[in-house]
């Protein structure tokens, strides 16, 4: 009942030419795929061009961040309205690189998630533990806190707009994927928590992606888990062949 959802997070990669080549390559390779929702999230400055290259394709456009105010004196920031204006449907929020490199807090991420939903965007809301937190047996506590704080003040109806992405920080960009078992275990915990927050019916409808060194060769195994509804893909989303292969595996 949950349609799989694969999103590519291009992070601070590509240039204009490369971004367009990636977009048009994916458009060709994925034409006709309709059993999987697919999105790509390029850097802000390439959103409009990539959106144009993807027009009349089945690939949606997403951004990697937003600022929660609608407009005003916030030098260097980008609002949800601006993202909608250039054709974005999705926005990644709370990514571990924003939490740990740029210092974003649960409170700020919560403001952003609410602003995204209110502005008609679909947040891909990321959570995940650090290696030392996993080793200290604190994975459930850390991830639960992030989910509760990040989704605070959101009612069940609005929660349906959210995709949660579980991304263990130790697996991001390291080549160390969580095992299918480790992913399923945390996904099931997150779904149970979403059930407490929003009711079992809503929790059953919400998609939970896995992210962290997801690649063509581990896609099938990860996606075979009952609570893994999709993937948030970094490195492998920068290669047409790899990302297309992952979508096709799921399709
Ligand atoms: P990775 O990144 O696939 O390169 O590990 C995933 C992410 O950070 O979303």
Rounded mean pLDDT, 104-121: 98
Rounded mean pLDDT, 165-171: 96
Encode pLDDT of 192-231 as tens digits.
999 999 999 999 999 999 999 999 999 999 999 999 999 9
Answer yes or no: is the C-beta of 167 below 6 A from any ligand 1 atom: yes
Please count the other Cβ atoms lying within 10 Å of the Cβ belonging to residue 231: 29
The whole-angstrom distance between residue 215's C-alpha and the CA centroid of its chain comes to 15
Does residue 168 have a pLDDT over 90? yes
The per-residue pLDDT of the chain, averaged, comes to: 97
Q: Which of 18, 75, 58 is nearest to 42 (CA)?
A: 18
Does residue 246 have a pLDDT over 90? yes
Answer yes or no: is the C-beta of 47 below 6 A from any ligand 1 atom: no
The percentage of residues in the chain with a pLDDT greater than 90, rounded to a whole number, is 97
SS3 content of the chain, % helix, strand, coil (to 5): 50, 15, 35
- Give the phi and the psi of residue 10 in degrees, each rounded to 5: -75, -10
**68, 95, 129, 133: which is the annotated catalytic residue?**
95
Q: What is the CATH number of domain 5-250?
A: 3.20.20.70
pLDDT for residue 175: 85
Answer yes or no: is the C-beta of 212 below 6 A from any ligand 1 atom: yes
Rounded mean pLDDT, 157-180: 94
Q: Is the pTM of this model over 0.95?
A: yes
Cα–Cα distance measured from residue 84 to residue 82, given in angstroms and rounded to the nearest whole number: 5
Confidence of residue 123 (pLDDT cuts 50, 70, 90): very high
- For a substitution probing ligand 1, which of 14, 97, 130, 167 has the most ligand atoms within 8 Å of its CB? 167
Please state the domain extents for the chain. 5-250
Cα–Cα distance measured from residue 109 to residue 197, given in angstroms and rounded to the nearest whole number: 18
């Amino acid at each position: 009942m949950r349609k799989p959802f694969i999103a590519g997070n291009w992070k601070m990669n590509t240039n204009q030419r490369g971004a367009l080549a990636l977009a048009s390559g994916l458009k060709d390779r994925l034409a006709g795929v309709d059993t999987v929702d697919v999105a790509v999230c390029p850097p802000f400055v390439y959103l409009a061009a990539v959106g144009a290259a993807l027009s009349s394709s089945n690939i949606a456009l997403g951004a990697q961040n937003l600022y929660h105010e609608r407009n005003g004196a916030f030098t260097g920031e980008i609002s949800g309205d601006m993202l909608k204006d250039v054709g974005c449907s999705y926005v990644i929020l709370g990514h571990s690189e924003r939490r740990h490199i740029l210092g974003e807090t649960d409170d700020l991420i919560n403001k952003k998630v609410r602003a995204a939903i209110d502005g008609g965007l679909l947040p891909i809301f990321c959570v995940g533990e650090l290696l030392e937190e996993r080793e200290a047996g604190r994975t459930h506590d850390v991830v639960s806190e992030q989910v509760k704080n990040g989704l605070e003040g959101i009612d069940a109806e609005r929660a349906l707009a959210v995709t949660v992405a579980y991304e263990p920080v130790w697996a991001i960009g390291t080549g160390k994927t969580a095992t299918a078992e480790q992913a399923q275990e945390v996904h099931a915990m997150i779904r149970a928590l979403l059930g407490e927050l929003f009711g079992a019916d809503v929790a059953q409808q919400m998609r939970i992606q896995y992210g962290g060194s997801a690649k063509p060769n581990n896609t099938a195994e990860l996606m075979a888990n009952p609570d893994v509804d999709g993937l948030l893909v970094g490195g492998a989303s920068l290669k047409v062949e790899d990302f297309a292969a992952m979508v096709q595996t799921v399709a």
